[in-house]
Amino acid sequence: MNLCPRTNKLAFGDNSFPAVHLPAAAANQSTKLLLVDDEPRMLSSLQALLHHRHFDIDTAASGAEALACLSRTRYDLVLLDLSLEDMDGHHVMDFINNHCIETDVIIVSGNVRIDAAIGALRGGARDFLRKPFSQQDLFKTIDHVLTQRRLRQTNRDIAYRLELSERTYRYMVDASPDIIYMVEPEGRFTFVNDRACQLLGYDRRELIGQHYSVLVHEEDFARARYAFNERRSGDRASRDVELRMTRRPNAPHAETADDASMIVSLNAIGMHLDHVEQGGPRYLGTYGIARDITARKQAEAVILHQAYHDVLTDLPNRQLFKDRLGQAILQSKRNRTELAAMFIDLDRFKQVNDTLGHDKGDELLLQVTARLKSCLRKGDTLARQGGDEFTVVLPDLHVRDDARLVADKFLECLNLPFDLGGHEVLISASIGIAVFPHDGETIDELMRHADIAMYYIKGQGRNGQAFYSDTMD
C-alpha cells in the first residue's frame, strides 16, 4: 500500500492481500516542528516561545538547510518564512509537494500583500501569519493546524482500516472453498465468488444478473425455490438443503456426463434493511453458502452399495435379499398372488477350488452369476448367500409351474461347459423351491423350506430341482 500524505489518498499497487501496517503517524510521539527563517533574532524568539509548549524543535537559517532537514527528518509542522536569502519559500513548498513529504506548513512572512497569502495557500500551506504577530495569534494558528492535522490523520486511519477490512473480506470470500453468492429479491445473482466460477465453469460476468434457476437441476427446482428465496434470518434460516447444480457444458470439472452436475449443501439467510419507513425491515435478497459434497455423496453411495451387495459378484447380499423378499411378500398379500423363493447350491464347486485354485473358483462364480441373471425377468431378484449358494425371488407368479420352468432354465444353462482360462469345467446345481403362501408366510419359513428342498435334491443325486413338501421334513 502507498500513502501520499499530500493528497490524503490510499493507493494499492496490486490485488494481492495487503500486509497489515499502520500509517507512521499512528504512532504515539511528540510533535516535531521545523522553524525556517533567515533572521537569527526571529528564529531564536520563535524557538524560545514554542519551547515552553514542549514541542521537539529543529531550526533552519536558510532554504538549503530546510531542504536538508526535510530530507532526513519527519516533521509534523513547518513554520516557513517566504523571503529567504538563498531561495524563495515557495521552492521549499515545491520540494515538500514533489517528494510527498507528510508535513503541514504555516507561512510566516512580512509581506502584507493579499496575493502572497493566496499564493502560499494554493501551494499547500495550511495557514498564513503576517509579521509582526502576537504570541496569542501564533499559538492559536499552530493549535488550529495541528488539530486539523490530527483529524485528517484519524480520517486516513479510518479509511485505511475500511479499505483493509473490505480487501480482507473479499480475500476470504474469494479464497473460500465454498460457493458464496447473493441474490436480489427476484432471484437474480448480484454477487458470486471465484470458487463458484471455478466449480460451475462460468465467468462472473455471465452469472451476475442471471436467475438462479440456470444453475439448478430441473428435478430440484422445488427445493431450490425455498433456499434461494429464504427470507428468514438467524436460527430460523434454512440450513443444509441438498440439491444438484448443473455445470456449464464442457466445464473443466465436467469430464464425463456424470460430472455435468454437482451436489451441494446449501445454507441461506435473508438480508434485510432495518430502520426504514413504516412497514418494518425491507427485504434486500438472500445470502448463501453452498458446499460441494459430490465426492462425499459418491463415497456414501459406494459404502451403502457395498453394505448390501456381494463384493465379488455385485449381487444383492443376504441382508438385501431378505429385504427384497419381505417387500415381495407384502406385495403378494396385497395382490393375493403367489411368489417363489429358491435356494441354489452348486454341485462339485469345491472340487474346482481344490484343483484349480480360488481364483478360478471366483471366475466360475462370475460366469454362473451371468448365466443365472440371463434366465430372470426384470423384477426378479438373484442374490448370493455366500460360498457357492445363491437365492432367488420370483414375485407375481401366474401359476406354480412358472417357478419350475425358471429352475429348469437354471439347470440347463449350468450344465453347459465353463471355460476357465483353457480349463473346461462341468458343474450342476441343486435347487429347492418354496412357494408363498402354501409353504410359508414369513421370510424365515420360506427360506428354511427352500433350503430343505435343496438338500432333498442333493440326497437324490443332485442336479435337479424340487418344490418343498411336508414329507421332506
To the nearest whole percent, how much of the chain has pLDDT over 90?
53
- Reported as a pLDDT band with limits 50, 70 and 90, residue 276 is low
Whether 403 shows a pLDDT value over 70: the answer reads yes
Quote the pLDDT of residue 112: 60
> What domains can you pick out in the chain, each with its CATH number?
2-17+29-170 (3.40.50.2300), 179-299 (3.30.450.20), 309-472 (3.30.70.270)
Give the chain's mean pLDDT.
Answer: 85
- Reported as a pLDDT band with limits 50, 70 and 90, residue 275 is low
The Cα 77–Cα 66 span in angstroms is 12
Quote the pLDDT of residue 453: 95
| 150-170 per-position pLDDT tens digit | 998 888 888 888 888 878 777
- Reported as a pLDDT band with limits 50, 70 and 90, residue 278 is low
- Reported as a pLDDT band with limits 50, 70 and 90, residue 252 is low
Quote the pLDDT of residue 271: 87
Q: What is the mean pLDDT of residues 409-424?
A: 93
Whether 44 shows a pLDDT value over 70: the answer reads yes
- Residue 118 vs residue 279, higher pLDDT: 118
| 302-318 per-position pLDDT tens digit | 999 999 999 999 999 99
Q: What is the mean pLDDT of residues 374-401?
A: 93
Whether 133 shows a pLDDT value over 90: the answer reads no
Tell me phi and psi for residue 415, to 5 degrees: -80, -15
C-alpha cell at position 37: 527563517
| 181-229 per-position pLDDT tens digit | 999 999 999 999 999 998 999 998 999 999 999 999 999 998 888 888 8
